[in-house]
Amino acid sequence: MATTMRGLTQFIADIRGARVRELEEKRINKEMANIRKKFKDGNLDGYQKKKYVAKIIFTYILGYKVDVGHMEAVNLISSPKYSEKQIGYLAVTLLMHENSDFLRLVVNSIRKDLHGNNEIDNCLALHAIANVGGSEMAEALAEDVHRLLISPTSESFVKKKAALTLLRLYRKHPDVIPAAEWALRIISLMDDEDLGVVICVTSLVMALAQDNLDAYSVSYTKAVDRLNRLVIEHEYSATYAYYRVPSPWLQVKLLRLLQYYPPSEDPAIRSVLHQVLQTIMNNSAEPSRNVQHNNAQHAVLFEAIGLAIHLDTNSPLVSTAAVLLARFISSRETNVRYLGLDTMAHLAARAESLEPVKKHQSTIILSLRDKDISVRRRALDLLYSMCDVDNSELIVGELLRYLRVADYALREEMVLKIAILTEKYATSYKWYVDTILQLISAAGDHVGDEVWYRVVQIVTNTEDLQEYAAKVVFEHLKAPTAHESLVKVGGYILGEYGHLIANEPGYSPLEQFHILHSKSQFCMAATRSLLLSTYIKWVNVFPEIKPQLVLIFERYRHVLDSELQQRACEFYALAQRPEEDELLQNVCEEMPPFPPRSSALLSRLNKKQGDTEDKRTWIHGGKDANTDRELTRRKTLNQTNGSATSATNAPSTQDVMGSLAGLDLGTADGTTSREQPNLAVGPNIDRWYEKLTFSSEGVLFEDVQIQIGIKSRYQGHVGQLAIYIGNKVPTPLTSFITAVHVEDPEALSVTFAKIPPNVIAPRTQTQQLLHVECKKAFSTPPILTVSFLAGSHQTTSIRLPIVLTKFLEHVKLGQADFFERWKLIGGAPRESQSIFPISLNSAGQLDLPKYRQVIAGHRFNLLEDIEPNPNNLVGAGVLHTSVEGKVGCLLRLEPNKEAKLCRLTVRSTSEDVAKEAQQLLQKSLQADT
């Protein structure tokens, strides 16, 4: 650029040659005046505009204010020449902020470049959107960026930039991106052949999935499949092998994405995932001498350990991980020690047993004195997570000793954690009071109000503790210096419970008054106000020191602080009332217990440890804290999605005084409800489905691109379903996604035998095997969703012919046995009956072969010689379920040729089974198959 614009080159040389700032400013002012004149005169060609705008950009980069050239930059964007367009985009991204009025003039030019066939223009436009991207621009251009991302004609480097641009827009303006609507199309790009595209799309999916878990659930299978291809099958180009580690950045992202979802129940996915994690850990068993190789391998390993902990803390993988982590927390490398401590904290926060972590307690405590503050912080987090009743006194004692020499940046967090651990794992209330008062004495200004509020609350609610607390706080106040928080605790406790120790030697009312009042001169007005409240309570219980207390009130009646003055005047008036007056006694009654509620300390700590853009999948503080967090997160998602059954108002964590008000923190429990996919419709589709409900094989769906066929077999409460998917077109179907939606997973389990393939070659067929288990009675069949790329993105959802009657088995009964059981079951509600019209066959007769085929196809055993009428059909079967056991089922079919009606009666020991079986049989009997 400099070689083609001599004026710009000379301008830069003049600026660099200026020996003092005044000369530089003079040269810039002269140039800006010249540029303004040129722009005002007009008639500039593209080259001249480019040159002058480049000078303005350079001036802006030097730090000078620029108020000219904005319109010319907008005009340059519309230029067909790359060099002019590049300078225009550079000026727009540098000189304009996201709320600039000039941006409205640029939107159409950017859209034109996004729609163009020139990849360089596409990229310039994407850069501008990502760097400036205000809400108006995002709303206007998000669809165009998405189109560029999913277009089959887009180059790989354009797709990468489009994915990252969408990610930037979503983080700034999440409401503009219809994340759920675009889910399947974006996820399909995770199968792209270019791993660079996959990395960028995975970054986008990670951000979108955190807020739309259900919509992006298919990404779970995609992530497992890609990890399998990278780690097990080594399916990647040499370009993406970083020091012999296959694409470590992609592996880390995929492993993190899997942690956003609950562990999969699909045995095929669990098996592949276990194999991947085992391979990653085996590869990292022995460290390499190459530093870069170690770094890449450790990055993947620590994320893999995090996923193994997330999946199952009792698995052998986690035992292997614990051994590796023990080695890492003693490593010479600071980064490895940091990651080792952080991952071990994850283990401590999830594990059922803390014994594997406790083995290394001494090493972790030594890490508190590491030379690196970030390692010290992770050691603190780990000690906080691994603390329990057995080691609480040791850990809290170590933290108190370290608190005196800890970094100021750590002290506030340490105080909160010590206070929480002391309360949570206190072996006795006396130890709790001793420890908290030591904490307040040692930490000083780093003790938040929440800490001493909590002490007051617990002492007030624990009658056996009040006398001991009064003695201990009195002893602490004897020290030459006492922090203001300690004075507050002392003022409250001695004011309420000082009378309990007043008769013991060394704790007389006068001594209590002297020790407390001697500290008041160093306190703020708020603390002195609290002490005045203490004194009026003493007027009521210690009449022997009333003169000294009245003197204090008299003195404070004339201070400038309005709060202190008002209290002093009111308390002085109360103290002067006659002794027989009961008003003083009523005002100074002992505080009642506080209503039980959660500690405000946890709210304060969680607020300090807020989420980043990449939300944490766990928090420090043990298994209980993470279980509670997961429940809270699910309820929040339910409320956000509008599926929560009810909601309650949560207390404000900022209102510290309100933390003692006994607010109800209970929230209604809710479960996540996934939306049912939109089903494909058509007469053939319904006819194929109805036929397959009473037959074991046939076509389920067919169009011009694919054909889906079914073969099935059932035995007892389990079954196997083979799905044959054929590609009818001469091009491959890529990004093939197959998913099964089950309405009630507690009643029916449907899982793939292995991870489905993501490509179907031209004019070939692939088979996918489903394992089916009936746990209890169900009424809604599962839905198979198939999506793929074939020029454009196609999605089809169809019902699978897995119905309740598939799990029936034959029962042989004689005439007497049948009618005995029929009567034993009785009528409603365990009977379901319907009368419906039927069609006669071409000969005008009842279609008995069809009726027999339907009943036998629904796996009822047709019983002969039961009914005297030969046209009536009788059947019996037993439904097998893994949870509810066996359920008997009997049926009678009575067709009437003259009336062209049929009566169907089903009786079962379960009313749900009777109703469902009757409806299934009626649909099949009426269907035109």
pTM of the model: 0.78
| Arithmetic mean of pLDDT, 741-750 | 92
CB distance 310 to 263 below 8 Å: yes
Q: How confident is the model at residue 198 (pLDDT cuts 50, 70, 90)?
A: very high
**Sign of the four-CA dihedral 665, 667, 672, 678:** negative
Q: For residue 884, what are the CA distances in angstroms to 102, 880, 881, 911, 916? A: 69, 8, 6, 13, 16
| Residue 527 DSSP code | H
Please tell me which of 407-421, 594-608, 754-768 the model is most confident about, judged by mean pLDDT.
Answer: 754-768
CB distance 903 to 833 below 8 Å: yes
Q: Residue 772 above 50 pLDDT?
A: yes
Quick one: which H or E segment has residue 887? Answer: strand 885-896
Q: CB neighbours (10 Å) of residue 292?
A: 12
Question: Does 104 appear as a known binding residue?
Answer: no
pLDDT on residue 534? 87
CB distance 428 to 474 below 8 Å: no
Picking from 404, 405, 366, the residue whose alpha carbon sits closest to that of residue 383 is: 366
Please tell me which of 62-66, 220-224, 625-629, 923-927 the model is most confident about, judged by mean pLDDT.
Answer: 220-224
| Arithmetic mean of pLDDT, 693-710 | 92
Question: Does 51 appear as a known binding residue?
Answer: yes
pLDDT on residue 44? 84
pLDDT mean across residues, the chain: 86
Q: Which residues contact 187 (CB under 8 A, 6 or more apart)?
A: 205, 216, 218, 219, 222, 737
pLDDT on residue 706? 93
Question: Does 38 appear as a known binding residue?
Answer: yes
Q: How confident is the model at residue 1 (pLDDT cuts 50, 70, 90)?
A: very low
Percent of the chain at pLDDT > 90 equals 40
Higher pLDDT, 870 or 254: 254
| Arithmetic mean of pLDDT, 27-31 | 90
Question: Does 6 appear as a known binding residue?
Answer: yes
Question: Does 7 appear as a known binding residue?
Answer: yes
Q: Residue 636 above 70 pLDDT?
A: no
pLDDT on residue 622? 64
Q: What is the per-residue pLDDT across 490-540, written as a single tens digit (0 to 9) for each?
A: 888 988 888 888 888 888 888 988 888 888 877 888 888 888 888 888 888
Residue type, 380: L
Which tokens belong to 731? 């091009």
Picking from 411, 351, 405, 408, the residue whose alpha carbon sits closest to that of residue 382 is: 351
In angstroms, the CA 199 to CA 284 distance is 23
CB distance 183 to 208 below 8 Å: yes
CB distance 88 to 76 below 8 Å: yes
Q: Residue 652 above 70 pLDDT?
A: no
Any idea which residue has 């709060």 for tokens?
A: 563
Q: How confident is the model at residue 638 (pLDDT cuts 50, 70, 90)?
A: low
Q: How confident is the model at residue 659 (pLDDT cuts 50, 70, 90)?
A: very low
pLDDT on residue 350? 85
Question: Does 159 appear as a known binding residue?
Answer: no
3-state secondary structure 768-801: EEEEEEECCCCCCCCEEEEEEEECEEEEEEEECC
Q: What is the per-residue pLDDT across 671-697, written as a single tens digit (0 to 9) for each?
A: 333 456 788 888 889 999 999 999 999
| Arithmetic mean of pLDDT, 394-404 | 89
**Residue 15 phi, psi dihedral angles, 5° rounding:** -65, -45
Q: What is the dihedral of CA 453, 456, 458, 464, to 10 degrees?
A: 170
Q: What is the per-residue pLDDT across 432-468, written as a single tens digit (0 to 9) for each?
A: 888 888 888 887 777 777 788 888 888 888 888 889 9
In angstroms, the CA 354 to CA 352 distance is 7
Question: Does 402 appear as a known binding residue?
Answer: no
Picking from 706, 716, 712, 632, the residue whose alpha carbon sits closest to that of residue 668 is: 632
Question: Does 537 appear as a known binding residue?
Answer: no
